[in-house]
A and B are shown apart, each in its own frame.
Chain A
C-alpha cells in the first residue's frame, strides 16, 4: 500500500548485522551487558524491553552514536565498531523523526544525497521518485511542522531510504503517536519491510508492536538480552520469568518438581510436560486463555480446586478471577463464543490446562 514498486535495487544478500559481546557502562551503571545478536539480511528484528533496559543504547551503538566499552559491531562481516556514524551507511529513523525544521520536505529527503555529493539533477530525480512512492510528491515544498504525524513518518522513511542503505534502524518511531495512527503506521512499516526487503532493527517497549511486526524479537532487561525468538515462540515458550510476564498476561504457579511430575501448592498433581532433571522448586506458567475452569464432573483430575471470585466482561472475552483453596490467585480468559455455560462469582470449580500449554521455568 505504501510502496508499490521496489524502492531499491539492493541485493537482498547484504544487510546482515552481528553484535559480539557489546558492553557499555555509564559511570558505575551498566547500560548494556554482554549483548550478542545476529541478524540475517532482510530480517525484521525488534529489540523489546522496558525503559532503561538498554535497547536504545544498543541501537545507538549499531548506529555509531555510542561507543561500546568492549565488543564489536559487524555489518556484512565488516567491523564497523569504530566507524563514525556518517560513514556507516545505515538508515536511521529517530523517535519523533528528527526532520530538520529549517528545511522543506524535499530538502530533508535530498540531505543524504547532498552529503554524498550526488549530482544535482540526479538528486532531484531521486527525491521526486521516492516522494512519489511515499505519496508525498505534492507536499515536497512543505515544512515538517506543516505535516501530520503520519506524513512526517513517511518523510523520515523516504529520507532514510533515499540513499539506499542495506539496513534501517528504527528507534521507537511510533512512540509519540495516538493508538489509531500507531496501528495504521505499524502496518505501513510492515508493508514497507516486505517491499524493500531491507534488514530492519526496531526498538520498542510495546509488545504488541514487536509481536505483530517482527520476524524475531529480542527481549532485553537490565542491559541483557533475555531471549531471542520468533513472536509465537516468545509467547508460547518464554525462556524466563521476566519474559513470561513482560510479554502478554500470564499465570505463575509455584510448583515442586518431584520425579518428573509437577505438584501444586496444595500437593495436587498438575498438567505439565515431564521434567527430565533433578527434583526442585519451579514455576509453571500458563496463559489466561489456556486456563480452563470446570465444575463438578467435567473437572479433570490434574487440577487446582477453588472458586470464582471475580468476573469481568471485556467485549470479546470474559475474564474470570479464580482463587484456589490454598490462596493462589489465577486468571482465566474465555472467549464469548457462547453464553450458555457461563460460571459466576462464588461457583466452586477446578482450574486446569493442557500439559503442552504450560511452560516450566526454573530460576
Chain B
C-alpha cells in the first residue's frame, strides 16, 4: 500500500482514452470473478453479522440495549475512544516533522527517512509489538539500562498499562500517518513557497499560508486512517495492555471465541463497524477516501483546494500575524527540523533494530548489551519441530491466498482501469473496504460464514479470508501500474498488425508483469504476517508462524521469537527491495 500511496501519480499529459469514458468496454467482464468473490466472502458475511447482532432467528434489539445499559461495556467504549484519540494525536505531532523533512530534505536525509518509515511499516505488527514487549518489560532492555545507570533502584512498570499501549500503538501507526501526509506534501510545488517569499512572507508565514493549507488533505487522510485503524486495533492492545485497558476488539474476541456468545459479539462488532463507517463518512466530507489509496482519475488537487476556501482565510490571518512577529520569533529554518525528524526516525527504527540485534545473543535471556554473539536462536528456530511446522503451514496458506488474490485482484484492476463501467466509485469502495474495515470485524464475520460452510479450522478457509484481505493491496499496486501503462503502446501494436490477443501477449503482459510480481509478494506478505484471521478462522486447529509467535509472546517471552521476528523483517525488507528494483528497472 505504501508503494502505491507514495506514488499517486498525477496523470500524464495524455488525455484518458476517450472510449473508456463512454460506456462499458469488454474489459468490464474481468470485474466479474473478483466481485463475486468479494460479495460472497465479504459482503455476505458482514450482512450475516448484522442479522446475528439482531438476534437471528429470534429478532430483538436486546443485544444493543445490553451494550448501552451496561456500565462495563460503556467503559470499554470509553477506553477505546480514549486510546484511539490519544494515539492519533500523539502520532500526528510526531509524524508531521518526519513527513515534512521527507518532502523538503536533501537526498540522503530523504532516503534515510523513507527507510525508517517503510521498513517498520512492512514488518509485521506482531514482530513490532514483540519488540516493545522486550524493550519495556520488567526485565526488559530499558529497565536493564536504567538499573545499570543507577537512575532507578527497581524496575519501572512500563508494560501492561496505558503507557505501554499508547507507546506501542503510536509506534505502529506512525507510518500509516506519515505516508498519506508525505504523498500530498510531495505534490506541493516548491515554487509556490518561493512565490510566497517573493511576495513578502517570512519563512514561517510562507509555511502557514501556503504549505500547511495545501498539505491539509494529507493530514486529514493520515488522521482518518490512523483513527480508524486504532478503533479496530487488536494485536498490540491485547499483548501490551493492562487489565483495565480493554478495547472493543478484545471484548469482541472474548465474546465470540471464549464465551461463544455469537449474537452479542456480533452486536459489539456492529457497533465498531458503524463507528468506523461514521468516521469515514465524516472524513469523506473533507477528503476523497479512495484517493489516498492511489485511486485518482485526475490530480484531484484542484477539487480539494476549492473545498478549503474557508480555511484559507484563517491561515492567511495566522500567516500575517507570524509575519509581523517574524523578528521576535526564533528561526525555524536551518537544521532544526531535519534534526528533529532524524531523531524521530531513529526512534521509529530503534525497536526493530534492537530486536534484530538481540536475536544474535548467545544467552537464553534478553540481556543488553549482548554478552556474546551466536546463532543459537536461529538454530533453535530451525531445529524446533513446532516452529518449522508453523512456518510450512504459513507458507502453504500464504501461497494459496496470494494466488487467489493476485488472480482476482489483477482482473479487478484491469476491469476498474479499463472497464469504463458506470458506478466505478462504488466498485472501488467495495474492493478497498476489506483493508479499511476493522480486521477483527471482518474476521469474525468470515468465521460465522465458514462455520456454516463447514470450512472453519481448514487451511483453505483461512486462505479465503486472507485472500479477501490481500485483494485490495493487489488492486492498488496493479491499478497504479496500469495508469502508467500508456494506451498508445497498445494502439501502436495494433497499427503494426498485432491483433487484440497478440497485443496482450507482447505488450500488456510484459509491461504489467513486474507489478503483478510485486502485488503477489505483498499479497503473500499480508497473509504470511496475519494473526487476527488465524485467531478466529483457525479455531485453534491451525498454527501458523505468527500464531506460534502470538502464543510465545503471551506465554514465555522466548528469545527464539526474536530470531523469527528478525527473519520476518528481512523477508519484508527483501520484498521492498524487489519492488523497488522492479520499479527502477521499469523507469529506466
Contact = CB atoms under 8 A, between A and B. Distances in A.
A119 interface: no
Nearest to A60: B491
A163 B496 CA distance: 8
B511 A91 contact: no
B498 interface: yes
Contact of B502 (A89, A95, A99, A115): A115
Given A26-B22, A98-B488, A63 B495 contact: yes
B511 A101 contact: yes
B291 to A, nearest CB: 25
A94 B494 contact: no
A64 B494 contact: yes
Interface in B98-129: none
Given A101-B511, A102-B511, A65 B491 contact: yes
Contacts of B586: 101
Contacts of A84: 494, 499-500
Contact of B489 (A98, A115, A116): A98
Nearest to B490: A98
Interface residues of A, number: 34
A353 B503 CA distance: 59
A65 B489 CA distance: 12
B160 to A, nearest CB: 54
A100 interface: yes
A95 B491 contact: no
A187 interface: no
Interface string A108-150: 0001100110000000000000000000000000010100000
Nearest to B488: A98
Nearest to A114: B506
A116 B497 contact: yes
A276 interface: no
A27 interface: yes
B491 A100 contact: no
Interface string A243-286: 00000000000000000000000000000000000000000000
B496 A102 contact: no
Contacts of A86: 493-499, 502-503
B422 to A, nearest CB: 13
B489 A85 contact: no
B491 A115 contact: no
**Which of A63, A92, A160 is packed against the most chain B CB atoms within 10 Å?**
A92
Contacts of B22: 26-27
A302 interface: no
B19 interface: yes
B510 interface: yes
Interface string B478-513: 000000001011011111111110110011001100
Interface in A169-214: 169
B327 interface: no
B510 A102 contact: yes
Contacts of B499: 84, 86, 115
Contacts of A100: 489, 492-493, 507
Nearest to B511: A102
Contacts of B502: 86, 115
Main secondary structure of the interface of B (DSSP, over half): helix
Nearest to B491: A65
Contacts of A163: 496-497
Contacts of A160: 495-496
Nearest to B586: A101
Interface in B231-251: none
Contact of B496 (A27, A95, A111, A145): A111
Contact of B498 (A99, A111, A169): A111
Interface in A40-93: 57, 63-66, 84-92
A64 B500 CA distance: 13
Interface string B12-26: 001000110110000
Nearest to A63: B495
B94 to A, nearest CB: 40
Contact of A85 (B14, B18, B494, B511): B494
A112 B497 contact: yes
A92 B511 contact: no
A27 B420 CA distance: 14
A85 B498 CA distance: 9
A27 B23 CA distance: 10
Given A98-B486, A102-B510, A115-B502, A91 B495 contact: yes
Contacts of B489: 98, 100-101
A115 B498 contact: yes
A115 B486 CA distance: 20
Interface string B424-442: 0000000000000000000
A159 interface: yes
A95 B488 contact: yes
A66 B488 contact: no
A329 interface: no
Nearest to A89: B497
Contacts of A145: 588
A96 interface: yes
Contacts of B21: 26
A145 B587 CA distance: 9
Contacts of B511: 101-102
A102 B513 CA distance: 11
B19 A66 contact: yes
**Which of B489, B500, B503, B511 is packed against the most chain A CB atoms within 10 Å?**
B489
Contacts of A116: 497
Contacts of B493: 86, 100, 111, 115
A94 B491 contact: yes
A115 B588 contact: no
B497 A92 contact: no
A145 B585 CA distance: 12
A157 to B, nearest CB: 13
Contacts of B14: 95-96
15 contacts: A27-B22, A86-B493, A87-B497, A94-B492, A96-B488, A98-B486, A98-B489, A99-B492, A100-B489, A101-B489, A112-B497, A115-B498, A143-B588, A159-B496, A163-B496
Given A91-B495, A115-B496, 13 more contacts: A66-B18, A85-B494, A86-B497, A86-B499, A92-B496, A95-B14, A98-B492, A101-B511, A111-B506, A115-B493, A115-B497, A115-B498, A160-B496
Query: Which 3 residue pairs of A and B lie closest in terms of their CB atoms, listed nearest first?
Result: A112-B496, A92-B495, A98-B492
Interface of A: 26-27, 57, 63-66, 84-92, 94-96, 98-102, 111-112, 115-116, 143, 145, 159-160, 163, 169
